[in-house]
Amino acid sequence: MFHIKTYNAIANEGLRLLDKDQYALNLGDDPDGIILRSEKLHGMAFPKSLKGIARAGAGVNNVPVEACSEAGVVVFNTPGANANAVKEIVLAGLIMASRPIKEGMEWVQTLSGDDVEKQVEKGKSKFAGTEISGKTLGIIGLGAIGSLIANDAYRLGMEVIGYDPYVSVETAWNISRRVQKAQSIAEILEKADYITIHVPVTPDTLGMVDEAFIEQMKPGAVLLNFARGELVKNDAIIAAVNEGKVRKYVTDFADEALLHNENILVFPHLGASTEEAEVNCAIMAAQTLKYFLETGNIVNSVNFPTVDVVMQSPIRLAIINKNVPNMVGQMSSDLAKHFINIENIINRSKGNYAYTIIDITETETHLLDQVVEEIKQIDGIVNIRVIRK
Ligand SMILES: NC(=O)c1ccc[n+]([C@@H]2O[C@H](COP(=O)([O-])OP(=O)(O)OC[C@H]3O[C@@H](n4cnc5c(N)ncnc54)[C@H](O)[C@@H]3O)[C@@H](O)[C@H]2O)c1
Ligand SMILES: O=C(O)CC[C@@H](O)C(=O)O
């Protein structure tokens, strides 16, 4: 029986994939796996039982990924599962930044009398806006979300220019050839009337929108941030909005300092909040975690390499080890010492850690226990799991 702890509202369509005869949900303090959305796990002491954490979403900055690697906990996310939801809200943000729709709708509710229609026609000029068609949209980060926005903004009549020095080949294939490729962020800032950012928070991107970034923007440009609050220095953007250098700042990340400013549109982290995205993310998170717990195979991990091998032997050893020389040699020789036959072995690394799967022939329990203990003693082994078919 695997124990799974959940945080935040995880759609039932995902949770119901964890069959009741094999999985217990939110029972006890020793989970094998965690499924969460935006709950912050920084500072959490990991129970020894914990093997995997699945983020039902794209960003993993609420999970202490490095500490997870050290503890041998595999962290997964759900690439692309909520991208369409974010794309749609960004398109709404582009239009809301261009036309005072919300203000107009609030005003119309204040009217009364038989001549509401006449009052509307007389007063509506205060709510005229501009169009996005013909304007230039700069996109920083052409991943799952940025690439969808690029294609649709182009279809809506915008000139689109994108910057992403690490774009994946798969995503690049999906981006319309009409989307121009910028060589630098400076090129985007020089040309764009609207700038939208879709990069993860990393040491490189943290606070990327600062005074120097804003200084390079076209006067009166609009900035949209549906990626993460930490990417933008709030003091800098508030000052720029107040001075009129930035026409509007549209963000999905609330902070008290951003509220009650007519030129800052704050959404309550709604980017992924659609029925479809919540279901997609929950299903992908549950499937990925289940696959890992049951087979040891890793897909969609942010801290360990993809290792996806059909299990053809009765016993699998799934080992997390430091990425240092001679780990596989030492593990193999421990098995050889006990005349245990290896049917398949694979070792892949990602950064400072590696994952090794060793499929072996049927082995008596006492012998298996002994060899597992010996492998655990090898310097550089983080943890080892025995999975039976
Ligand atoms: N508002 C929300 O509810 C919501 C929902 C989903 C995702 N997000 C945020 O959006 C981010 C992007 O999501 P995604 O699904 O598109 O992820 P993704 O991994 O598919 O795309 C991220 C892209 O950013 C690029 N990138 C990384 N560093 C860069 C840099 N310095 N300059 C330019 N490009 C860079 C990568 O190459 C990649 O193509 C997530 O990390 C998350 O923080 C927010
Ligand atoms: O779960 C959510 O509502 C937000 C998820 C989003 O921030 C993400 O990074 O995918």
CA-CA distance, 315 to 329, in Å (whole number)?
19
CATH number for the domain harbouring residue 52? 3.40.50.720
What is the rounded CA–CA span in Å between residue 12 and residue 53? Answer: 18
Please indicate, yes or no, whether the overall pTM of this predicted structure exceeds 0.90: yes
Q: Counting atoms of ligand 1 from 1, which one is nearest the CA of 61?
A: 43
Q: What pLDDT does 236 receive?
A: 98
CA of 343 to the centre of ligand 2 (A): 41
Distance 173 CA to ligand 2 centre (A): 25
Residue 246 structural domain: 83-112+129-266
Same domain, 54 and 158: no
Does residue 88 share a domain with residue 34? Answer: no
Same-domain pairing of 99 and 245: yes
Query: Do 25 and 151 sit in the same domain of this protein?
Result: no
- In terms of domains, do 198 and 248 share one? yes
**Residues taking part in catalysis:** 228, 256, 269
Asked if residue 281 and residue 259 are part of one domain, the reply reads: no
- Residues 136, 258 share a domain: yes
Interface ipTM above 0.95: yes
CA–centroid distance, 226 to ligand 1, in Å, is 10
Task: Give the residue ranges of DSSP H helices in 63-206.
Answer: 65-71, 83-98, 101-108, 116-123, 144-155, 169-174, 185-191
Question: Are residue 95 and residue 175 in the same domain, yes or no?
Answer: yes
Q: How many domains does the chain have?
A: 3
Q: Is 69 in the pocket of ligand 2 (CB under 6 A)?
A: no
Tokens of 329: 């040699």
Q: Would you say residue 314 lies in a domain?
A: yes
Distance between CA atoms of 51 and 355, rounded to whole angstroms? 13
**How far is residue 214's CA from residue 210's CA, in Å, rounded to a whole number?**
6
Atom of ligand 1 nearest to the CA of 228: 43
Domain boundary (212, 238, 266) is at 266
Please identify, among 285, 304, 323, the residue that sits at the C-terminal boundary of a domain.
Answer: 304
Residues 87 and 66 in one domain: no
Q: Which atom of ligand 2 has the smallest separation from the CA of 77?
A: 10
CA nearest 227: which of 256, 257, 207?
Answer: 207
Q: Residue 269: its pLDDT value, please?
A: 98
Give yes or no: residues 387 and 291 share one domain. Answer: no
What is the C-alpha separation between 274 and 276, in angstroms, rounded? Answer: 5
Please give the Cα distance from 389 to 357 (Å, whole number). Answer: 14
Q: Which two tokens stand for residue 388?
A: 């039976």
321 and 356 in contact (C-beta within 8 Å)?
yes
User: Which amino acid belongs to residue 299?
Assistant: V
- Give the residue whose CA is nearest to atom 42 of ligand 1: 59
Taking phi over 0 as left and psi of -120 to 50 as alpha, with beta for the rest, 359 belongs to beta
Q: What is the block-wise mean pLDDT of the chain (389 residues), using blocks of 10 residues?
A: 97 98 95 98 95 98 97 98 98 98 98 98 98 98 98 98 96 96 98 98 97 98 98 98 98 98 98 98 98 98 98 96 97 96 97 98 96 97 97
In a domain, 168, yes or no: yes
* Closest ligand, as measured to the CA of 188: 1
Contacts of 112 (CB under 8 A, 6+ apart): none
Q: Is the same domain home to 229 and 353?
A: no
